Chains A and B, each alone.
Chain A
Amino acid sequence: MNSDIEVNLRKYRTNLAGSGTGYILFGIWTVIKIFMTVTMNRSYIAGILSDLDFDIDKADDETRQIAYIVICSLLFLIALVALLFHLYIGMRAIRYSSKETSSKFFVAFSILIMLMNISNLPDYFKSREEGLSVMNDRGIVPAVVDLTVVFLLFDIIYSVHRIDSLENKKKKIAKDAAASGIEEESTGD
């Protein structure tokens, strides 16, 4: 009950459940962030449209409204997809930790998203006067948030790996114990 293997299994299952829950919460935060950006930052959508070479000042009202609706819909769709990714990984991690599933496909997604996040991290350390950078006040919090997400994903991947190796060790010990038990019986005959 309190062997090293059992104790470590409990520890890594708890870590996995905790990291999975944290990743789901970050997914909800991502949706809130996109919602706040769209609704409170009016120039954001105009900026996207100008990047697409759409001159919003020259368009009539109806065209402008349709453009806004399309962009907002796309942004909310992206938010929904991001949330679904977070929910998938987070809930799979929680279910894996409570032994409700043995499928580890979510680990592949976790690795992919972690690498994507890591590849974006250097941008925070570029010296820029505008934009998000740790060199100015606006970049520190997003940098810390992204680092935390990387840590959560790493914890999910590492915990699954440790749980697997501990479970394999446990099975091997049980198999060896059963084999030595059978040997003792046969030598006793």
Chain B
Amino acid sequence: MQEDFHYYATYCAAFLAGYDHRECMDICYSAQFVDLCSKTLLGRIKAPGSAATTMLQIEMMDARTDILGLQDITGIWASFHFLPRDLYASKPHRPKRYMNKYRLICGHDGELVSKTVELAKGRSLQSVGIAMHVLADTWAHSYFAGTPSLVINNTTDDFFEILPEGEYPDNQKAIKFRHNPSAADDTEKNIYTNSIYQENENSVMNLGHGRAGHLPDYSFIKYCYLPAWNDYKVMIKDNPSDYYNAFCQMIYAMKYLRGSFDSFKLNTYDTDAVKGHEDRINKILKTRRLIASDDWKAFGEELSGCEIDNFDVNRYQEEYINAPSEDKSSTFIGSFVDGALAQKSMVSAAIFRSGNMLAGFGKND
């Protein structure tokens, strides 16, 4: 997902869950900061690099892909952007090496989603924001794994957008891919950028949804494609529906975190909270454009009556740099770092306990 959903839509969901404007800002800032908190940024402000929640392109280019490098990559991406759905999934006639990667396939409403949300209970708003980012990404990034793997994350070039009846034969329009990262995706001509095919199993180009380009991050598109892991079966990805469910599930999760419910149940989406706003939300999700920040922002400002500041990655850095060592944890970024370390530790430990070494050794809870 992109800034429009992680920042502005999370603000809207937090407000509908009952948080006030200031709390919503802290939550949505943290949710978006997950996409920017790299080792480079943390190094600049002298924060612990192990709390990194993302990797920059340049960091990925330099990343090693030996076992230690793969563990580093997987520990970040599986913990924050591609939360595994079922660490104990089974598939017949596959060796352990394949199953280790297969079990890291991301999906919504897995056991780790409830652990992520429960981990944020009683913790800072920054932890809530991190949990919302992770939860939202389980919807957008479904069917891809947060580890470099050709046999899991590769796809064929046959992507088709599914359109309303009557417009195209079989209601499908072919999507064309090109490998030009500097050119913007063209929604009118259905031309998008994706990563180049790399035959090396552990190449970083085979991490996550690179082969599908940014399609998983566009809320308007419903499409079908052939993932490498699905034994020649076509997968349909309905982003408008998934994003709507993600929004409603975020509201439910944040109500639980505020204490409205005793427990967090999977497959539960608070559609009552969006009553009266469904058409507005669906319109935002289905409008054909690359990013919907303006519309989500307008919606959020209407809900709260307050202005939502644009996201500024530098906002809290001075506070952290200038704070004495013993007070760093109580700064905004310090709380974020604590939340990120807890999330990463929880997910890595869960992966390790399942007998999978791809995220390294995990501490027992």
Contacts and interface: CB of A to CB of B under 8 A. Distances in A.
Interface string A8-51: 10110010000000000000000000000000000000000000
Contacts of B226: 10
Main secondary structure of the interface of A (DSSP, over half): helix
A8 B231 CA distance: 9
Contact of B224 (A1, A7, A11, A14): A1
Contacts of B233: 2, 7
Interface in B330-350: none
Main secondary structure of the interface of B (DSSP, over half): loop
Contacts of B236: 1
Give the interface size class of chain B: under 10
A30 to B, nearest CB: 23
A10 B224 contact: no
B238 to A, nearest CB: 14
A73 to B, nearest CB: 38
A37 B232 CA distance: 42
Nearest to B224: A1
Contacts of A7: 231-233
Interface string B228-265: 00011110100000000000000000000000000000
Give the interface size class of chain A: under 10
Contact of B234 (A1, A8, A11): A1
Contacts of B232: 7-8, 10-11, 14
Contacts of A2: 233-234
A6 B32 CA distance: 41
B224 to A, nearest CB: 7
A75 B231 CA distance: 44
A11 B231 CA distance: 8
Nearest to A11: B232
Residue in B224, B226, B232 whose Cβ sees the most chain A Cβ within 10 Å: B232
B314 to A, nearest CB: 48
Contacts of A14: 232
Interface in A39-68: none
A6 B226 CA distance: 12
A11 B233 CA distance: 9
A2 B224 CA distance: 11
A2 B230 CA distance: 11
Interface in B199-236: 224, 226, 231-234, 236
A14 B231 CA distance: 11
Contacts of A10: 226, 232
Nearest to B233: A2
Contacts of B224: 1
A6 B231 CA distance: 12
A2 B231 CA distance: 10
Nearest to A8: B232
B284 to A, nearest CB: 29
Interface string B113-145: 000000000000000000000000000000000
Nearest to A1: B234
Nearest to B172: A1
A2 B233 CA distance: 6
A1 B232 CA distance: 10
A45 B234 CA distance: 55
Residue in B224, B226, B234, B236 whose Cβ sees the most chain A Cβ within 10 Å: B234
Interface string B283-309: 000000000000000000000000000
B236 to A, nearest CB: 8
Contacts of B231: 7
Interface in A137-151: none
A25 B291 CA distance: 44
A7 B234 CA distance: 8
Given A2-B234, A6-B234, A10-B226, 11 more contacts: A1-B224, A1-B234, A1-B236, A2-B233, A7-B231, A7-B232, A7-B233, A8-B232, A10-B232, A11-B232, A14-B232
14 contacts: A1-B224, A1-B234, A1-B236, A2-B233, A2-B234, A6-B234, A7-B231, A7-B232, A7-B233, A8-B232, A10-B226, A10-B232, A11-B232, A14-B232
5 cross-chain pairs, A with B, having the tightest CB-CB distances, nearest first: A10-B232, A2-B233, A7-B232, A11-B232, A1-B234
